[in-house]
Structure 1
Amino acid sequence: MTSIPSETYWPEGKRSAAVVSVIFDDGLDAISEAPDLAHRSKSLSVWQYGATRGVERLCNTFAAFGVPTSWFVPGVVAQKHERLMRDVLSGGHELESHGWSFERYDELAPAASVELLRRSSEAIGTITSRPTTGFRLATGNWPRNFDQLLVQAGYSWSASLNGDDLPYSHCSGLVEIPVHIELEDRPYFQFNFTPAFPKGLSRIPSYEAVLGNWISEFDAYRQYGLCYVIQLRPEWTGTPGRIAIVEELLRHISGFDDVWLATAADVAGWHRQKGAKTPIDHPINVYDAYVNEEQAGER
């Protein structure tokens, strides 16, 4: 398996890397689970709070710490909130694709997937005036050979899968920057009574406990020279109280001069430049080998 990187893996002798990412769906994630929310203003407003207050509050915090971030936005949301997205861009952040409208690519034909991926890229590119290179899967499973469809649609990296804590490359050359659920805000803070999001109505945890989790993970990632990726959503951590968690996390990360605080695109570009090969026993290769073996046995 992938070994712990040497001290020369990251640029300028940095010990590890950290990426601050933001996922801005403007309620599409909720509507995909409960379509009737589109006509229920009270419940939907829980998610729309991100556009109303959360985006601005996150951007102000990032500016205070001088942190560049990576935003993943569906194409329809980028079009709807173009002025807001231009404000994000003017703050030195990057805009990348979160699909077109929260579709499930594991339920689409390859041609339809490529068409929607290109449509999202073009919508975001209209705002950024540059090619859209990054992608994060919004929902559903990662279809087999989906990396090839992303490359066909013009993307060069993804931040969608788990499977590791260092960047790796798919067979197509698409760079993958692994993400992990414990470094998201939604599992801790998403809460709505009707419909029950999350199911079972688990209670919102202590803010100090969440911050402790995120800092503990960062300290371990730094210790082992890995790539730490925090995933925030303006409707959940863009509130007056929870923004303090983000501030404390950024203060902690910024206190180490041996950590490369970079955008996801920068990390993907660095990995590609290093030309590191993905080991044959890496999960991404093991899965393909397993499927190939199963298909061979059926013939």
Structure 2
Amino acid sequence: MTSTVSKGFWPQGKKCAAIVSVIFDDGLDAVAQAPDLRGRSKSFSVWQYGATRGVERLCNAFADAGISTSWFVPGIVAENHEELLRDVVSPSHEIESHGWNFERCDAMPATEGVDLLKRSRERLNAIASNEVSGFRLPAGNWPRRFDRLLVEAGYAWSASLNGDDVPYSHASSLVEIPVHNELEDRPYFQFNFTPAFPKGQSRIPSYEAVLGNWIAEFDAYRKYGLCYVIQLRPEWTGTPGRIVLVEALLAHITSFDDVWLATAADVARWHAGKGTIAPSDHPINVYEAYVDEERAGER
């Protein structure tokens, strides 16, 4: 495998791809770690800020930059914030699935998981301007052969795993768009005193340093012709000061005319059209072979 894609790899003669995505959990991620949080208005308001102010600020930043984005939303959040999400919906923005209620798919029977995946997709389709085809794992580990369950539930692609810098296809044909922690806002900015998120309370770095990281990563992805995926959350980067970081990052990305700035669904459809499956030495296949070998040794 090579760390640099060949010339002509991307459509339209572009040098690399870039996807701007938003994860809108409305606090479900925090409640999953501290179930009593809903009854603690002061603490829970940290996450409610996303719906109250952050979503609007992100949408305004995207409109000013003239870009299309991909929003990952749990089905229950779509029910609770239908009007807000309808304001987000437009030909420029797609809404994709982030599960139903921040469930762990690795902690439930496959049939139950498929039912929830279908339920989420159906609920989101009721308000989305696009046909919901993508998924991002809400929590837990990627269940073995989970790609097949996603295909069964009607999904065509996922943006959940980390083991590459360009899209690849699972054996089931499900397209995977790799994501990385350093290109999320939460590892930098999530902070709450009680309960302690993160444990140890060491977070919230210099804003300039975070922007520098994101731009340095983008410049490297562009240099090597890869697929850059920034992941934003309205409660963390939708504040008055941090939205400036988003605006500066988007200004940097859009200053290059050789970048394919697309939605995740656009990238997935393009990759699926190539009809290529990940080779045997790809991390996803190496992992599957390793698990098969381990299980065979236990018999």
After TM superposition, the score normalised by the length of structure 2 is 0.98
Q: Distance in 1 between matches of 2:5 and 2:172?
A: 23
Alpha-carbon contact 2:106-2:141 (below 8 Å) kept: yes
Question: Corresponding residue for 2:225?
Answer: 225
Matched residue, 1:80? 80
Give the whole-Å Cα distance in 1 for the aligned partners of 2:72 and 2:217: 22
Displacement of 1:91 after TM fit?
Answer: 6.2
Q: 1:180 to 1:5 in 2, by over 3 A?
A: same
Secondary structure class of the residue paired with 2:127? helix
Partner SS state of residue 7, structure 2: coil
The reply on whether 1:241 has 2:245 as its aligned counterpart is: no
How far off its partner does 1:274 sit? Answer: 1.6
Q: How many residues align?
A: 299
Equivalent positions of 1:117-266 (< 5 A) are: 117-128=117-128, 130-266=130-266
Task: Give me the identity figure in percent.
Answer: 74
Change (3 A) 1:272 1:94: same
1:130 deviates by 4.8
Confirm or deny: 8 A CA contact 1:2 1:282 kept in the other structure: no
SS in 2 for 1:163: coil
The CA distance in 2 between the partners of 1:129 and 1:162, in whole Å, is 28
Residues in 2 aligned to 1:91 and 1:282: alpha-carbon distance in whole angstroms = 35
Shift of 1:7: 1.9
Q: Is the 8 A contact 1:16 1:259 kept in 2?
A: yes
Alpha-carbon offset, residue 70 of structure 1: 0.2
Alpha-carbon shift at residue 90 of structure 1 (Å):
2.4
For residues 252 and 9 of structure 1, the distance between their equivalents in structure 2, rounded to whole angstroms, comes to: 22
1:6-45 equivalences in 2 (<5 Å): 6-45=6-45
Return 121-130 or 236-245, whichever deviates more.
Answer: 121-130
SS at match of 1:127: coil
Question: Which amino acid is the alignment partner of residue 252 of structure 2?
Answer: H
In the TM superposition, residue 4 of structure 1 has moved relative to its aligned partner by 2.4
Report the CA distance between 1:128 and its aligned residue: 1.7
In the alignment, structure 2 segments of 5+ residues that lack a partner are none
Q: Is the deviation greater in 81-90 or in 112-121?
A: 81-90
1:62 aligns with 2:76: no
CA distance, structure 1, for counterparts of residue 130 and residue 118 of structure 2? 13
Measured in 2, the distance between the counterparts of 1:51 and 1:127 equals: 17
Tell me, yes or no, if the aligned pair for 1:183 and 1:214 is still in contact at 8 Å. yes
**Helix, strand or coil at the partner of 1:21:** strand
Q: Secondary structure at the match of 1:90?
A: coil
For residue 295 of structure 1, report the CA deviation from its aligned partner: 2.2
1:49 aligns with 2:49: yes
Equivalent AA in structure 2 for residue 56 of structure 1: E
Indicate if the aligned counterparts of 2:171 and 2:277 stay in contact, CA closer than 8 A: no
Equivalent position SS for 1:142 = coil
- For normalisation by structure 1, the TM-score amounts to 0.98
**Map of 2:116 onto structure 1:** 116
5+ residue gaps, structure 1, are none
Q: Could you tell me how far apart the structure 2 residues matched to 1:45 and 1:2 are?
A: 45
1:115-158: CA deviations, max 9, x gaps? 00001001100102653200000110000011110000000000
Give, in angstroms, the shift of residue 203 of structure 1.
3.0
CA RMSD between the two structures: 1.0
1:121/1:131 contact within 8 Å kept: no
Deviation at 1:277, TM superposition (A): 2.8
Q: CA deviation at 1:6?
A: 1.7
Cα distance between partner residues in 2 of 1:3 and 1:187: 25
- In structure 2, distance between residues paired with 1:12 and 1:131: 24
Write out per-residue CA displacement over residues 37-84 of structure 1, whole angstroms, 9 at most, x where no aligned residue.
Answer: 011111000000000000000000000011100000000001111111
